[in-house]
Amino acid sequence: MQLSLTLARSPLESVRDALLCEFGAQRPVARMDPISQLVKSSISGRTPDAVSWAAFLRLRAAFKCWEDLAQASDAQVLEIIHDVTHAHDKARRLPMALRMIQARIGWLSLSHLRALPVDTARHELQSLPGVGVKVAACVLNFSDLAMRALVVDTHVHRVARRIGLVSSGDTTQAYHALMGMAPEAWTADDLFELHWLMKRGLGQMLCPHEGPRCGACPLKHDCAKIGVGHSADVLAWRPRGVD
Question: Is residue 182 part of the contact set for ligand SF4 (CB under 6 A)?
Answer: no
SS3 83: coil
Q: Which among 41-49, 54-62, 168-176, 199-207 is the span making contact with ligand SF4, rule CB under 6 A? A: 199-207
Question: Is residue 19 part of the contact set for ligand SF4 (CB under 6 A)?
Answer: no
Helices (H), strands (E): how many in the chain?
12, 0
SS3 211: coil
Task: Report yes or no: 62 and 79 within 8 Å, Cβ to Cβ.
Answer: no
Question: Is residue 232 part of the contact set for ligand SF4 (CB under 6 A)?
Answer: yes
Which is it for the CA torsion 42, 45, 50, 51, positive or negative?
A: negative
Question: Is residue 165 part of the contact set for ligand SF4 (CB under 6 A)?
Answer: no
Task: Report yes or no: 44 and 199 within 8 Å, Cβ to Cβ.
Answer: no
Residue 85: CB minimum distance to ligand SF4, A: 25
Question: Is residue 214 part of the contact set for ligand SF4 (CB under 6 A)?
Answer: yes
Question: Is residue 162 part of the contact set for ligand SF4 (CB under 6 A)?
Answer: yes
Task: Report yes or no: 205 and 198 within 8 Å, Cβ to Cβ.
Answer: no
Question: Is residue 212 part of the contact set for ligand SF4 (CB under 6 A)?
Answer: yes
Question: Is residue 206 part of the contact set for ligand SF4 (CB under 6 A)?
Answer: yes
Residues that bind ligand SF4 (CB under 6 A): 159, 162-163, 202, 206-207, 212-214, 217, 219-220, 223, 225, 228, 232
